[in-house]
Amino acid sequence: MASPGEDPSATVQPFTDDRLGRCLQPFMLSQAQLETVRDLMLDNMERGLRNDYQNPSSIKMLPTFVRSTLNGKERGEFIALDLGGTNFRVLYVRVSSTEKGGLEKKSKTFTLPQNVIQGTGEELFDHIVDCISDFQIANSLQGKKLPLGFTFSFPCSQTSLDQGTLITWTKGFSASGCVGEDVVRLLREATIRKGNSDLLVIALVNDTVGTMMSCGYDDPACEIGLIVGTGTNACYMEEMRNVEQVDGDEGRMCVNMEWGAFGDCGCLEEIITFIDQDVDEFSVNPGRQRYEKMISGMYLGEIVRQILIDLTYNGLFGGNISQRLQTRDIFLTEYLSLFESDTLDQVQVRSILTELGLRSTCEDAVLVKEVCRTVSQRAAQLCAAGIAAVVEKIRENRGLDHLKVTVGVDGTLYKLHPHFAGVVHRTVRMLAPLCDVTFRRTDDGSGMGAALITAVACRIAGAEPQAA
């Protein structure tokens, strides 16, 4: 196989299926490999929970201080913020009795310019407060001091519900002065700088936790939250006796696994390809989030682009690599969803390829679809191996022969890709045959969940609910 960097004209020959197979082979995982990934994940979960200093786990298994779920008595008006992907959302949520309408929400999405997510922490948090103030004005909420739930979808080490130290940025964020700081404090300081005194930060929530909670509003069997979007991660209800980082043995606590970092200690070397290595090296956080970089939307398009270049050296597109295809991140993950859609025909695939400067034949278009299918299938199977480990852990914790559980899911890749969800479901059935797992998609799960967690916290604290 020719490698990137070699002179393509020296290697061009008519393209054959056999060469496609050889290029894609490293991305095809056997059942045995997936079982190994599941077992390694389980082992890392256990070591992460134990806080094993001698043999540290690559996943942090962070306590979230979310113990109680909804009991239906929550009432009030809340603000929720959702920061962690390509956009920033502000929500107003009113929780009332079912007779009075249950949940009601208004929300607005704001874009987050690159210079803001990669500038200074002050700029980032000032921008967030500006967006909240706009939203309050547009919805006549000024002067109402509303409890606020902050969905902040990055690894945070929490010692209480309303405090969390940012461990590291992920997903292309790199605002300075935030790592090692309490992000709730950074938000409060920005509200003071900006003179917005209408916000009462009650809860800091990871998006997986918000998703689990909002799914639990409709389905009490939901004890797992999963995100597959720009990034990926999962949380689940763990027995307190196993959460060594928090005192007490009674009941359960939701644990934010931060599974994107799985493999950062080197345990996935067997399945990591030279293309995964390259994607990692050129990312803003090399060496980190290795599992996430094989699964989530931020990276799949780039993996496909690199395989296409590799294939071009082997004769695809007549051996001609377009200038555009040589640009990093030019192949969007949305294209995977598009190319794999059963309704998109050859002509449409070829017209997108033309936009990328690639003159393709019908055969080329078929091959590109096959590359996309292989990359998204590997992502879905790896994600399923993680979920299989989680459901097995819950089943073993409870000493059950058989577990029935629901996973609340959010994230664009899972929701928009035509086959991703199906592959996840089938693979979980294969890797966790003693568990009956239902997947429920939530809309706006992370933001709504933050409002619900805040509502629960207010109920428990006996806070005076706003009239609703």
For binding to ligand BGC (CB under 6 A), which residues are involved? 84, 153-155, 170-171, 206-208, 227, 229, 231-233, 258, 260, 292
Buried b (16+ CB within 10 A) or exposed e, 151-184: bbbbbbbbeebbbbbbbbbbbbbebeebeeebbb
Q: Is 25 exposed, middle or buried (0-12, 13-18, 19+ CB in 10 A)?
A: exposed
Instruction: Give yes or no: 89 in active site.
Output: yes
Buried b (16+ CB within 10 A) or exposed e, 192-202: eebeeebbbbb
Q: Whose Cβ is closer to ligand BGC: residue 207's or residue 340's?
A: 207
Q: Whose Cβ is closer to ligand BGC: residue 27's or residue 154's?
A: 154
* Cα angle value 183/254/393 (rounded, 5°): 135
Catalytic pick among 58, 133, 153, 337: 153
Closest approach of ligand BGC to the CB of residue 467, in Å: 34
Specify the pairing of strand 222-228 against strand 76-83. unpaired
User: Rounded to whole angstroms, what are the CA distances from 100 to 71, 185, 454, 468?
Assistant: 17, 36, 20, 8
Instruction: Give yes or no: 341 in active site.
Output: no
Closest approach of ligand BGC to the CB of residue 344, in Å: 28
Closest approach of ligand BGC to the CB of residue 152, in Å: 8
Specify the pairing of strand 252-256 against strand 62-63. antiparallel
Closest approach of ligand BGC to the CB of residue 389, in Å: 17
Closest approach of ligand BGC to the CB of residue 104, in Å: 26
Q: Whose Cβ is closer to ligand BGC: residue 191's or residue 208's?
A: 208
Closest approach of ligand BGC to the CB of residue 46, in Å: 20
Closest approach of ligand BGC to the CB of residue 6, in Å: 34
Q: Whose Cβ is closer to ligand BGC: residue 152's or residue 339's?
A: 152
Q: Whose Cβ is closer to ligand BGC: residue 262's or residue 313's?
A: 262
Contact predicate 117/104, CB 8 Å:
no
Give the nearest residue (CB) to ligand BGC: 231
Closest approach of ligand BGC to the CB of residue 410, in Å: 9
Catalytic pick among 38, 47, 89, 378: 89
Closest approach of ligand BGC to the CB of residue 209, in Å: 9
Catalytic pick among 162, 207, 264, 276: 207
Q: Whose Cβ is closer to ligand BGC: residue 380's or residue 458's?
A: 380
Cα torsion through 248, 69, 221, 237, rounded to 10 = -30
Q: Whose Cβ is closer to ligand BGC: residue 35's or residue 329's?
A: 329
Distance CA 64, CA 256 (A): 6
Q: Whose Cβ is closer to ligand BGC: residue 169's or residue 313's?
A: 169
Length of the chain (residues): 468
Q: Whose Cβ is closer to ligand BGC: residue 205's or residue 435's?
A: 205
Instruction: Give yes or no: 153 in active site.
Output: yes
**Neighbour tally for 308: CB within 10 Å:** 23
Helix axes 420-431, 362-397, angle to 10 degrees: 40
Catalytic residues: 89, 153, 207
